[in-house]
Structure 1
Amino acid sequence: MNTCKIYPHRFLILFSTLILFSLNLSSQVKSPLLSGKEKDALFRNQTQMLETSPYKNDKWQFIGPTNISGRCTDVEAVSPRGKNYTIWVGSAVGGLWKSTNEGTTFQPVFEGMPTASIGDIAIDPVNPDVVWAGTGEANILRSSNAGCGVFKTTDGGKSWSLMGLENTFTIGRIRINPQNTNIVYVAATGHEWTPNEDRGLFKTTDGGKSWTKILYINSNTGVYDLVLDPKDPDVIYCTTWERMRQKWSDPRTYETTTNDGIWKSTDGGKTWKKINEGLPDANKRGRIGIDIAQSNPKVLYAYVDNYEVAVKANPGELDAYGREKSTGIIKGATVYRTDDAGTTWKQVSGLTPDQKKFMQKHSGTYGWVFGQIRVDPQDENTVYTMGLSLNQSTDGGKTFKSLEGPHSDHHGLWIDPANSNYLLDVDDGGLAMSYDKGITWKLPIDVLPLGQFFNLAYDMSVPFRVFGSVQDYGSYYGTVDLGKGRDKISPVEFKSTLGGEGSSHAVNPVDNNTIYASGFYGKLRRATISTFPQNIKDLLPKMMPGEAPLRGQWVAPTLISPHNPDIIYHGMQYVMKSIDRGDTWEFISPDLSYNNPKKRGDISYQTISALDESPLRSGLLYAGTDDGRIWRTKDGGKTWGEIRNGPVPVKFVSRIVASKYDIGTVYMTQTGKRDDDFQVYIWKSTDFGDTWQDISGNIPIGGVNVIREDPANKDILYAGTDGGVFVTKDGGKKWEVLGNLPFSYVLDLAIHPRDNMIIISTHGRGIWVMDANPVNEKDKIKKPDDDDADVQ
């Protein structure tokens, strides 16, 4: 049984530090970067930097996984008329992909854009070389990223033009008028974290040269779904949802809202009316998906995230993530149907006890994530809903069955209008294809390389292995084999290992077989890699009655002390230390967050997000939190002082790195993602954090997720951003783009100290490596035994 000792007398914070902190709250030298237009312009600067970078030809090598894909948001195809289907797949954070051979192979066709997050795509019904891409995933998960407007290609993806709407950030749907394809409608769901005016329904009549907002409610209400009547495209239906994602909770419907529901226009969007007769009350309606029967346009289906309580929660009852349920289980996914073009709606799903259970199990209460429904274009009674499973009804929504085969968590479905047996499904595992209406499925021969990694660790095996946690998969590792040459590394399949889909990993550098990783929200465990999944040990201590429950970040930091591999540090709201490999623990800090009771919800927040120990001095520790606090202890946790001061803003601390070259030097990065802020925050201190210097230099755009020192040269630093990798050789005065990497959200970076390979984990494009020798010239550094004997 784990034990834990708490020493309240250690929790001393100097009064002078608090005074210094309060005086410097407003002393910020950088303003947040909140504009999508400015983001696009600054990314163009990054593109120009690559063209002049001395490292522009340095080669990034994809190492995998070859057996894992990632979340995709939309799929569209062109009916072939005797030829191979052309398939377009939009990914959540991996760009846009195209296949001209019916899914046998895919090529990326959205490289070099200022975002890799795709919300929706639409193919021109007259000219299939014209494709629209709305950027910014509308599912607003914790791993979602903002877009930068609507793009258009007229040459099948060879080139793209930005058509505006840069400040929408997320796009739910694009529809094209089939009778006049210069008329396009865009449903803008808006910012994920903050209010903004660029929400609502936009229309262009000149192919995107200009836009008019034709439906707007307020700065918190977006338009999520949209359909046109196939017989009269001036008849438009759309859905609205008033919501905001908080840092401490999933997005929820406002209890006082009257703005959530379904709208109809019969004049191309000039005038609108609400059509909600028969639906739940507005404050019980969350995200709504909608589709129209092409064979009978009077029939529409609405997939409503229903907030009416179905089952009250028992005291202490937990959800799938281990979080306590507040009110109970909501009805969640509920299907409604209209047979009179929206005049009245009737609930058709979940009308029997068995079907109620089915909808809860397979569609779930995460309608804010999915919210998608499709109607068979040839049969008004065949309906598909997307959720945890892909579900099919052939009796107008009365009964549903789950279609087995594809990965879980479904976000898009295309049904061939000429052959409705042919289905293309996109989910958290990529793309799946069915030729028999969902009875059987096949995957692309080459798995789309869209692995969404949160973190990175390595070991000292020969060849060395890399470890990371992957969105909706769990944790995996792969081998980096340099045997064929440092520039001839082959991508490999990855194997499952300890950890959840959001974890940090630490591998014992002595035995290379003991691994530490967390399940959800920092629930730390230990295992042996070679025998996994046997012999897993839970490590978190039990809390005493009356003590606050432990809170951990989605990727809670865990590290092995560089001074003793038996010493483990783990960050929750407290810094925890074990001297016996995690068997027993001591809390060596107070709650380092602001611990604001008003900011507690169903998402673990006010936690430690970054933690490091100096390689030069045992017990010199730094910690940063997700709510923007920064701390230091010089005596192993006996006393802590807050060191956020001067120009440092209150932002999510994404990384702290204590220097291996100088005992007083420490580096820190922050990300403004959860404030819809793209500013670049990189800091350096040479006095243990007492003062900070901005070393972001000429990096044009953030956020910044990680900084690392070079293992061979103290003046070389590496930074991973939501867009690529940068390197500086002068301590941060001037940065260069490192290598011609596809646009990637680089969440972690390391340099293998023995093999001198740079490793990055990306959220959306898997794991990559690069030979560091051309950068730090470590291969040219003379070793002591290299000296010639005859040198005088």
Structure 2
Amino acid sequence: LSWKKILYVNENAGGCDLILDPVNPRIIYASTWRVRRTPYSLESGGQGSDLWKSTDSGDTWTKVTENNGMPSGPIGIIGVSLSAANHKKIYALVEAKEGGLFVSEDAGENWNRVNNDRSLRQRAWYYTRIYSDPVDEDILYVLNVGFHKSKDGGNSFERIGTPHGDHHDLWIDPFNSEVMIIGDDGGAQVSKNGGTTWSTMMNQPTAQFYRVTTDDHFPYRIYGAQQDNSTVRIASQSFGYGGISEEDWESTAGGESGWIAPDPDNNEIVYGGSYGGYLVRVNHATGEIRRVDIWPDNPMGWGADSIDQRFQWNFPIMFSRHDNNTLYAASNYLFKTMNEGQSWEKISPDLTRDDKSKMEPSGGPITKDNT
């Protein structure tokens, strides 16, 4: 196989979305996107982020984002879609200061913003996916944290229930648009009635574990935090028939990104963390759940330069190997507790470089993203 480059903008931008006209496949719409992500920053948008159209299978291209009705720059990520029911009606979900959902009735020559709802474009760099119904030109779907459906050409949307959140991909049967497959952070699910009901997500090995630990229970239990799902502890051996099953799983302390630390003297007590410094103590024997955060402030929405304690996405939590009563946790400082998290003692200086130039609010130049 060989490949030919047919669209190049600059060294900082790449292809993002691509659709072919179902009536004339020589007509192509493509979006390009400038994005940069480092351990300390995220930038979505700028020179190179545009929507393009070709009428000759990609030999030549025209910039659609300069056409009448499109928002002024800077432009970020763009999702684009059209329906086989009307190939001249184009939908574009545009990240921009005056962005939103735009519709063209004349194959991209002129545009009109029909919706500026922020829920359709929150965390634009992570989502911005739009899909048209192949049978009805006025039905379209926007994927984000929620799953949004419009029946009036994008003027209004309703949120459709799905088995999981964080939706990233959708396939619609071109001959029966009631049949759909959605891809989200829980796996894939199928609907045969236009999204009214969905198949289960509990039949796919999609768990993504950051790390695991164990306790000294018999049989020993395995603990782990699942990305975008719960923390769990799982029996290493089942006493039932057929091996380890869902009955051998149970939720435990913490959240999706956290370290988990079972108490070495009582493995029914478990400490678990999550992003932002969240730290919780769970007593499985009594059902008690208690917050034992080192720092009580919620850092969401703040740049690192404005936060007293800078906790990493998955900050470490562990018991001392020398003293079972000592639990350690770390932000940019190391802390310890000897009373089950009722109080914490700072035992180190700032362990980072404390470089303020790397701690400014993240995101931009359009959408801030301080998570």
| TM-score normalised by length of structure 1 | 0.43
Q: CA deviation at 1:252?
A: 2.5
Letter in 1 for 2:331: M
2:30 to 219, 222, 238: 238
Alpha-carbon contact 2:259-2:274 (below 8 Å) kept: no
Aligned residue in 2 for 1:492: 246
Looking at structure 1, the residues matched to 205 and 306 of structure 2 have their Cα atoms a distance apart, in angstroms, of: 44
Looking at structure 2, the residues matched to 299 and 435 of structure 1 have their Cα atoms a distance apart, in angstroms, of: 26
Alpha-carbon contact 1:305-1:365 (below 8 Å) kept: no
Q: CA deviation at 1:364?
A: 4.9
1:226 to 14, 18, 37: 18
2:154 to 397, 401, 413: 397
Corresponding position: 1:248 with 2:37: no
Aligned residue in 1 for 2:115: 349
Looking at structure 2, the residues matched to 288 and 566 of structure 1 have their Cα atoms a distance apart, in angstroms, of: 53
Aligned residue in 1 for 2:73: 282
1:503 to 258, 261, 265: 258
Cα 1:541–1:386, aligned 2, differ >3 Å: closer, same or farther? Answer: closer
Q: CA deviation at 1:347?
A: 0.9
Looking at structure 2, the residues matched to 435 and 591 of structure 1 have their Cα atoms a distance apart, in angstroms, of: 55
Q: CA deviation at 1:513?
A: 1.5
Corresponding position: 1:553 with 2:312: yes
Aligned residue in 2 for 1:525: 280
Cα 1:374–1:558, aligned 2, differ >3 Å: closer, same or farther? Answer: same
Aligned residue in 1 for 2:302: none
Q: CA RMSD in A?
A: 2.3
Letter in 1 for 2:235: T
Looking at structure 2, the residues matched to 406 and 453 of structure 1 have their Cα atoms a distance apart, in angstroms, of: 20
Q: CA deviation at 1:599?
A: 0.7
Task: Structure 1: give runs of 5+ residues left out of the alignment.
Answer: 1-208, 309-330, 351-355, 604-792
- For residues 116-135 of structure 1, what are the structure 2 equivalents within 5 Å? none
Corresponding position: 1:298 with 2:73: no
Structure holding more strand per residue: 2
Looking at structure 2, the residues matched to 547 and 392 of structure 1 have their Cα atoms a distance apart, in angstroms, of: 38
Q: CA deviation at 1:472?
A: 1.1
Alpha-carbon contact 2:277-2:293 (below 8 Å) kept: no
Cα 1:531–1:241, aligned 2, differ >3 Å: closer, same or farther? Answer: farther
- For residues 160-559 of structure 1, what are the structure 2 equivalents within 5 Å? 209-253=1-45, 257-276=46-65, 277=67, 278-283=69-74, 285-308=75-98, 334-350=100-116, 356=117, 359-360=118-119, 363-443=120-200, 447-481=203-237, 489-493=243-247, 494-532=249-287, 534-541=288-295, 549-559=308-318
Letter in 1 for 2:273: S
- For residues 674-693 of structure 1, what are the structure 2 equivalents within 5 Å? none
Q: CA deviation at 1:482?
A: 6.1
Q: CA deviation at 1:483?
A: 5.3
Looking at structure 2, the residues matched to 550 and 438 of structure 1 have their Cα atoms a distance apart, in angstroms, of: 43
Q: Which structure has the bigger radius of gyration? A: 1
| TM-score normalised by length of structure 2 | 0.88
Alpha-carbon contact 2:169-2:184 (below 8 Å) kept: yes
Task: Structure 2: give runs of 5+ residues left out of the alignment.
Answer: 298-304, 363-371
How many aligned positions are there? 352
Q: What is the SS of the residue equivalent to 1:527?
A: strand
Looking at structure 2, the residues matched to 502 and 484 of structure 1 have their Cα atoms a distance apart, in angstroms, of: 31
Q: What is the SS of the residue equivalent to 2:183?
A: strand
Q: CA deviation at 1:474?
A: 2.7
Q: CA deviation at 1:530?
A: 3.1
Looking at structure 2, the residues matched to 215 and 345 of structure 1 have their Cα atoms a distance apart, in angstroms, of: 23
Aligned residue in 2 for 1:167: none
Looking at structure 2, the residues matched to 431 and 541 of structure 1 have their Cα atoms a distance apart, in angstroms, of: 37
- For residues 8-87 of structure 1, what are the structure 2 equivalents within 5 Å? none
Cα 1:530–1:286, aligned 2, differ >3 Å: closer, same or farther? Answer: farther
1:562 to 306, 321, 324: 321
Cα 1:225–1:542, aligned 2, differ >3 Å: closer, same or farther? Answer: closer
Looking at structure 2, the residues matched to 391 and 537 of structure 1 have their Cα atoms a distance apart, in angstroms, of: 34
Looking at structure 1, the residues matched to 306 and 171 of structure 2 have their Cα atoms a distance apart, in angstroms, of: 51
